[in-house]
Amino acid sequence: MPVGYELLSELPKEAHQSPMLSLDKTKDIAALQDWLGDQDGLLSWKLDGLTIVLTYENGRLAKAVTRGNGEVGEVITNNARVFANIPLKIACQGRLTLRGEAVIPYSSFRRINQEIEDVESRYKNPRNLCSGSVRQLNNEITAKRDVHFYAFSLVTAESADFENSRERQLLWLQSQGFETVAYRRVNRETVAEAVSAFSEEVKTQDVPSDGLVLLFDDIAYGQSLGRTAK
């Protein structure tokens, strides 16, 4: 096997430090406006892949764990190291934990499927292909699958002040070299227009998405309600 790739016998399981909750769902714009109230929010893609938790220690990628059932996930660090766009080194020297979505673009999905001669063996959608790619025991296979990671949430970052703003967290993650999920800053007056714009963009974008996520920008306010996303 080429130098740099690793073959594992199994994927270890590990409990998350904080449970990963499901989102409240709605298709009602008025419900989103009422939920926002007088707060600003961040409206972003709900990407259709596998949620991954990354941990960095002293500027280096130390661990990657899948969402699993929200309580316990699988350790896939070797695979994450060969994702197309995950930085292996970052400037932040403290402990950093973040969450994001691993996805395979439609264009790569079509290319990989075309390389499979047996039509019955082809993958049904990019999410299925991504799930199998992220959870490979041989990361040489993962490296060929063009898996991308888009950060959507910062869990902990030592010695960093985000002035109580989720948008500042995302901008900081970008400064560290992460690609973040595309978002729009909204309020109750602009959220309907933003939803409409996303609805047009989803028709042509290369990254699989199965909805939108709305977060409060004010971190403390969101945490005071117990849930921060809809």
144 counts as catalytic: no
- Rounded distance between C-alpha atoms, residue 121 and residue 135, angstroms: 18
- Residue whose structure tokens are 């004010």: 218
CA 157 to chain centre: 17
Q: Among the options 27, 46, 124, 203, which is catalytic?
A: 46
> Would you please indicate which residues are annotated as catalytic (active-site) residues?
46
